[in-house]
Amino acid sequence: MTMPVPPVQRSLEPLGTAVPSTVPSHWYNLAADLPEPMPPHLHPGTREPVGPDDLAPLFPQALIAQEVTAERYVEIPQTIREIYAMWRPSPLVRAERLERALGTPARIYYKYEGVSPAGSHKPNTAIAQAYYNAIEGTTTLTTETGAGQWGASLSLAGALLGLDVEVWQVRASYDSKPYRRLQMQVYGGICHSSPSDLTEAGRAILASDPDTTGSLGMAISEAVEAAAKNPKAHYSLGSVLNHVLLHQSVIGQEALVQFAEVESGAPDVIFGCAGGGSNLAGLTFPFLGQNLREGTSTRLVACEPAACPSLTQGEYRYDHGDVAGLTPLMKMHTLGKDFVPPAIHAGGLRYHGMAPMVSHAVNLGLMEAVAVEQTDAFRAGVEFARAEGIIPAPESTHAVAAAIAHARAATTDEVIVLGLSGNGVLDLPAYDEYV
């Protein structure tokens, strides 16, 4: 017997709870410090730079303003900071047991985002996006998700801020990760396998290839279409766009302060996993801003899956963010909007493109990129778990693998920081053949 669940009450005013001073009060915007401005997003029809009116059917005005702002810092509303304080600041941990297991002279730290209620870094932007949509009167958010971390996070945000959430999940992950779907449903979200027969885009894709494993580009097309047809709905994207990377900057801002408390100088190298780019940018952009403003020389390394290598093998050009071509054209490293990656376990990294701001940083030589094979990633995930006790999300294992390889080759006590973007507790079947 299914028990009725009371509807979520919308509450946007601060509760008045204490927020630790270590929770950032502002988001950091790398655009203010870039040596060259980013190429603008283009309208898919006119190929002219998009304006606020072009984005209004999909996003609230506050997020549109954040997408194009050149301000270095954007104030975080108190309601959002109070929710952040449920798990922020997230810990920066010295991985001494891993260092000993590797026999490395390097010092390894990891910034752990798996302490959030949803288990990943994704709530950092989900809460912000839900808040600004609710303020504007939106009642429903639609979105896509790969592994399910983003769908779960937006469903969490909807529960906390009184919004309905509808999610299209890439079929490969929908089938292989039932607990992510259940997590969304517990928070009140509705989850569909993508491509679905609920949208014109989904029906067209299924007619062409009924056995497709799906892709994030396909799921985005469905979510955008659903939002465009509902006057009370907006679309919400979990990565790629400038405002998403802005919200994730709380990770790196905290890490800057935490690192300064335990080490002198700046880290030698930072590794972050990269699919759409939000986790990577959240951790590295504040350090990159420090490089640009203060002359520090921290190496920043994007770690992407070899099965979906947009930064290391894609072209840097304008492309759509979705398969149907409904989104603006963005200049980014891309494998092409029609690219359908293999059904790799790291579903959150199965995206044909990369965040334009990350792509711009790589193109300017401000950031590096490496591709990691899936077997190497999971082997590193198991090694990390057996040394540090935390099972990394499959996405995070790509950064773990690159950091471990670097540490094994180290001959000095250099300092390594890696982004542990989430835990893999709901992804354990992916580890099955590696243990």
Q: Which among 189, 244, 199 has a CA at the least distance from the CA of 219?
A: 199
Residue 115 belongs to some domain of the structure = yes
Q: Which among 112, 125, 135, 30 has a CA at the least distance from the CA of 84?
A: 125
Residue 78 belongs to some domain of the structure = no
Domain range enclosing 255: 85-119+242-434
Residue 207 belongs to some domain of the structure = no
Mean pLDDT of the region 125-129: 98
Residue 54 belongs to some domain of the structure = no
Residue 15 belongs to some domain of the structure = no
CATH number at residue 360: 3.40.50.1100
**Confidence at 324, pLDDT banded by 50, 70, 90:** confident
Residue 296 belongs to some domain of the structure = yes
Q: Are 214 and 171 in contact (CB under 8 A)?
A: yes
CA quadruple 29, 32, 37, 42: dihedral positive or negative? positive
Mean pLDDT of the chain: 93
β-bridge pairing 26-28 and 73-75: antiparallel
Minimum mean pLDDT range among 103-107, 152-156, 344-348: 344-348
For the cut 80, the answer to whether the pLDDT of residue 224 exceeds it is yes
Mean pLDDT of the region 324-332: 86
Cis check for the bond before 328: say yes or no (omega within 30 of 0). Answer: no
Mean pLDDT of the region 319-334: 86
Mean pLDDT of the region 289-306: 97
DSSP one-letter code for 353:
B
Minimum mean pLDDT range among 115-119, 229-233, 285-289, 415-419: 229-233
User: Which amino acid, one-letter code, is at 106?
Assistant: A
With pLDDT > 90 as the criterion, what percentage of the chain qualifies?
Answer: 82
The count of domains in the chain is 1
181 Cβ partners below 8 Å, 6+ apart? 148, 151, 169, 174, 191
pLDDT, tens only, 6-59 = 555 567 888 899 999 999 999 999 999 999 999 999 998 899 999 888 888 889
Show the beta-strand stretches assigned E in 55-94. 73-75, 92-94
Q: Which whole-number Å values give the CA distances from 45 to 22, 50, 328, 329, in the listed order?
A: 45, 10, 9, 9
**Confidence at 234, pLDDT banded by 50, 70, 90:** very high
Residue 215 belongs to some domain of the structure = no
- Tell me what pLDDT residue 1 has: 42
Residue 157 belongs to some domain of the structure = no
**Confidence at 65, pLDDT banded by 50, 70, 90:** very high
